[in-house]
Each structure stands twice: as structure tokens, then as C-alpha cells.
Structure 1
Amino acid sequence: MADPDVKYPVNVTYCGACTMPLEYCEYSNCKDMCREWLEQNLPDLAATVTIDDVSDEKKHQKRGGKGTGKPKKTVTMASKVTLQISARSKNKNVTLVKGLSTFGIDPKVAGKLFSSRFACGCSVTGADEITIQGDFKDDLFDLIPQKWTQITDDDIEDLGGEPNKR
């Protein structure tokens, strides 16, 4: 059934900024550009069409699904790089390097450097922990301040660890 108040065909005016009908500009992502386009191109309709900011708050899910989750805790640690030797089975040692990310160094990039420099296996085992296969603690005391100038010798701490003796 046709509405008696509406005369067909209906002429719809589209916005030049968001390409939607003018009534829907308030739901677009570019409300400011829609207002500017409307005032420049159709000043007589600018007074009648309102483009108000609809609440931009994200709706939080009440039940089920992902929801918002718990807020992530920001851990503030002391700015120290720690080096430690850990003994593995059958006379194998690994060097653990922790704390590089507090200086803005990506652990993956550092691990790639260590594995190519020392010709050994290296992996990122934690959020801020690099495991190097072998005992390279003494070499790292020289390499880290040389490669990354923001880390000084005082920023590197030796946690010890007893390597396996042959």
C-alpha cells in the first residue's frame, strides 16, 4: 500500500561527503565533513537537517561472547638488563637475557642479532626473555652497550648461575 502523503517518485538528496542520504549523515564516520558539505552546497537545507553527534561510546557486551575482559596491568620494572647462565642436561648451558624491552629494544630483533653473532640457536621465550644456546654472558657484556647506546655498563646486571663444567 502506498502512503497517501508521499508522492512518487521520491527525490532523494545524497551527501557529497559520505554518499548517504542526508537523513543518515548523523550515522556516518565523517560528520564534520558532512556538515561542511551541506553548508557549502545546500545552505537552504542546512538549517533543516541536523547532523548531531550520536553517542560514540562503544557498547559493552553484557553476557557471553568476548566482552571487555580484564584491563591489562602495566608492569613497571627497574631498567636493568639481566644476564644469567642456566645449566641444562648433558653439559649444556643457556644464557638468559631479560630486560631489553624496558629500553625499547624488540626481543625478536635482539635474538636475531645474538643468533647471527654467536652462531647459535636463540629464541624469545617470554615477553621479555631471550634464551641463547651456549655460555655467551661475557661476550654480551661487551656487545649490548656497543650495539644499543642507551644501555650503559651500569644497566647490565649479572645474576650469576653456575655453568656446567666438563
Structure 2
Amino acid sequence: MSESANAAPESAPVESQARHVVYCGVCTLPPEYCEFGGTVKKCEEWLKTNHPDMHARIYSEEALAATLSTLSVDAQKRAERDSLKKQAKAEAAEAREQEKKMSAKVLIKRVERSKRKYVTAVSGLEAHGLELKKVAKELGKKFATGSSVTKVPSGGEEIVVQGDLSDEIYDWITGTYGDIPEDNIDCIEDKKKKGSGAGGPA
């Protein structure tokens, strides 16, 4: 009786243990399956930074040699070709995305709404991978003013900030998001014309 009573506590911790599964921060698969995605290189870098012990276990020379040894010569060649193809495809997609970002324009436009009342509209940030609602919130806090995301007639969206803040927003974007080239950021003015007066310089 006393023996069975003593045995119960020993088995209890085993039942309460939960298995902790790590998921890759790049492809979202468990690290053991990252090789089936197209971002193996990035996955490996992420794992090395965040879980060095697991990286050493999966990507050590011994582990890779053991995996290859279970494959036939033909299968090894196929696996190597497939891996190179996936890597090349992922790199090409990344290069296209980078090229798209490098050419995408960010427009900061001062708009006159009424006499001496201005708003500043910012468009093109989404092409650089930024979430407009989050940036609008940051701008509102930074400049203590109203800031919201609105739809534009062309079908896209822009951030509208209350006040004439073109220069300040330009400085803030270049300082906060350094990966956006300054040459890609343009400040323009959308001012209501009231007719030009005569008598200007000839």
C-alpha cells in the first residue's frame, strides 16, 4: 500500500511535462523542416541567433553528414539541386522586392484645406513594408496632432496629418526609417491658387 502511494508522485511530473515546440521566425515551420521552404539561408541565420543550441544540433557537420549518408548518390545530387534551385528562387524574389523598394517613391504633400489651414499627406510608405496605421499612430504621438489613414481616389491609402509638418515629417522618416533612400522621398505642395496678380517682373 505504502509502495503504491510512493509510486504516484514519481509518475506525476512526467504527466505534467509539456513539449515545447520551436517554430522558425522566418518560414514558421519547425527548424527541422526549414529545408523544405525556399528561405533555408535566412532560416539558418535566424536559428543561429535565437536558438544556437538547436542550430548546432541541426546544422553541425556531423548532423549534415549523417543526413547525407542515409541518401543514395542520386538522391544526394537531387537534394543538392533542389536546395540550390529553392535558394536561387528565394534570392531572386528578394532582389526583386529590394529593387521595388529602392524605386518606390514616398510623397510628403502639404495640402491647403482653407485659409491658413493645412494638412500633410504622406503616401508610398506601404511599398517599403511599413504598416500605415502603425506609422500614423507614431506620427500623431510624435507631433501631438491628429493623424489617420484615408483612402485616395486612385484606390490606395495615405496618412493625413493635421498641420503644416512637411519638413518635420521628412526629417522624422529619414531618421526613423533609414532603409528608405532619401532620394526616394519628395516634398510637394498642393496649394489652392487664387489667381496671379499683374505687374510682376517682365
Scaled by the length of structure 2, what TM-score is found?
0.41
Please tell me whether Structure 1 or Structure 2 has the larger radius of gyration of its CA atoms.
Answer: 1
Higher relative contact order (CA 8 A, sep 6+): 1
Scaled by the length of structure 1, what TM-score is found?
0.49
